[in-house]
Structure 1
Amino acid sequence: MIENKEQVVSVYAEANPNPESMKFVMNVQLLPDGQSVDYPNLESALESPLAQELFNFDYVSRVFIASNFVTVTKSSDIEWVKLIPELRTFLKSYIEAGGPAFNEGFTVNKPEEATATDGEASAEDAAISRKVIDLLENYVRPAVEQDGGNITFKSYHDGVVTVFLQGSCSGCPSATVTLKSGIENLLKRMVPEVREVVADGITV
């Protein structure tokens, strides 16, 4: 997507609340601001040569790519202090050599494109959904992205907001606490119709 040839690339590792994930921040842009993609396995990463290369490391179990960082989740007991140098060197070399993050023509679906509740949403539910999406995008998502993850709206029905957690948030031990004590409280306060917030893929 974005050409990085002949550019000196710096990569540094940044820990996040999920002990099994590490955020690798770069001085290049991989995706436009506010966009991200989450690959839970090699089979899902067909459009990303960079993610496919990362999955070649046998300890990599998940790859999340955002504007200027890649979050890698490991499935090994090996400590990050031993893995970081290898991954940092690979990312730096790959990007400096002009390796593509994504196949040509690849685009990311915006969250707003996947906001239908159930096909029979009332006008009221649609209006509430819009309020929730705005709050998630403007207040919640930037904070979650700082931790190497992402949150997107899935649906709203009968007072229950369902979201997707991606990147470092997926499988994070503290994700449930953050979801309930932080995100749910915010949405309840700002949108009185919201009774509960649940996430796909984690047990609350």
Structure 2
Amino acid sequence: MFIETETTPNPATMKFLPGRQVMADGTREFTDPEAAEISPLASALFSLGDVTGVFYGSSFVSVTAAPGSDWPTLKPQVVAVLLDHFVSGAPLFTGGDAAGIAVPDELDDIGDDPADADVVAQIKDLIETRVRPAVAGDGGDIIYRGFREGIVYLTMQGACAGCPSSTATLKQGIEGLLKHYVPEVAEVRAA
């Protein structure tokens, strides 16, 4: 088995591609060792000591290193953990798959005004078809949180969370796209 690596716009995060499916549906982010306890792979990555974040995409794992960490030293350790996991065929989550595991971030949705159902459908479609694939290419994900009074609330995950260019991505990239196609959008904010 060969694991490819890619840099991301976030210098603290590296993207690892095992050449196979990681998550069947959705994505999953772990920001501390306690949250990672449900995933043997994420727990093993956090046990390396210099890891501060793990993100699972459909076909990749993004790993965020602690400030001051040295990627040339950490990268082979991460690859070894990933190889051990994928070669062994171990489950990604204890107790089955990720289905039914409550993702805390999903509890913080801003919500939508029911009167805006058509606008919300357009926004969600654009995020799903145009924004999420681009963000996944950089080792992250974007989660829709809600639309209220012309403001779209989004959360960046994985390599995109904490990335120096995440504000520019939200404001210049995503906000510009949404405003162009959905005139009711006045602003995009991080939630």
Q: TM-score, normalised by structure 2?
A: 0.90
Is contact 2:171-2:188 (8 Å) kept?
yes
- Tell me, in whole angstroms, the C-alpha distance in 2 between the residues paired with 1:118 and 1:76: 35
Match of 2:26 among 23, 27, 35: 35
- Paired position in structure 2 for 1:195: 186
RMSD: 2.1
Aligned residues: 187
- Paired position in structure 1 for 2:89: 98
- Paired position in structure 2 for 1:149: 140
- Tell me, in whole angstroms, the C-alpha distance in 2 between the residues paired with 1:197 and 1:188: 9
Q: How does 1:117-156 map to 2 (within 5 A)?
A: 117-118=110-111, 121-123=113-115, 125-156=116-147
Change (3 A) 1:115 1:128: farther
- Report whether the alignment pairs 1:84 with 2:95: no
Q: What percentage of residue pairs aligned between the two structures are identical?
A: 39
Q: Report Cα offsets for 1:146-183 as digits up to 9, x if no partner.
A: 00000010000000000011000111000001111100
* Post-superposition offset of 1:16: 0.5
Q: Which is further off, 169-178 or 44-53? A: 44-53
Q: Report Cα offsets for 1:63-110 as digits up to 9, x if no partner.
A: 001111100001141321221111112211221012221121431789
- Tell me, in whole angstroms, the C-alpha distance in 2 between the residues paired with 1:97 and 1:40: 25
- Tell me, in whole angstroms, the C-alpha distance in 2 between the residues paired with 1:89 and 1:116: 37
Structure 2: runs of 5 or more not aligned: none
Structure 1: runs of 5 or more not aligned: 1-8
Q: Residue 86 of structure 1 aligns to a residue in which SS? A: helix
Residue type of the alignment partner of 2:16: F
Is contact 1:47-1:106 (8 Å) kept?
no
Is contact 2:8-2:14 (8 Å) kept?
yes
* Post-superposition offset of 1:126: 2.1
- Tell me, in whole angstroms, the C-alpha distance in 1 between the residues paired with 2:143 and 2:111: 16
- Paired position in structure 1 for 2:6: 14
- Tell me, in whole angstroms, the C-alpha distance in 2 between the residues paired with 1:78 and 1:152: 28
Is contact 1:115-1:155 (8 Å) kept?
no
Change (3 A) 1:163 1:10: same
- Report whether the alignment pairs 1:52 with 2:43: yes
* Post-superposition offset of 1:116: 6.6
Is contact 1:114-1:154 (8 Å) kept?
no
Q: Which is further off, 188-197 or 98-107? A: 98-107
- Tell me, in whole angstroms, the C-alpha distance in 1 between the residues paired with 2:137 and 2:182: 24
- Report whether the alignment pairs 1:182 with 2:157: no
Q: TM-score, normalised by structure 1?
A: 0.85
Change (3 A) 1:94 1:122: closer
Q: Which is further off, 72-81 or 146-155? A: 72-81
Residue type of the alignment partner of 1:12: E
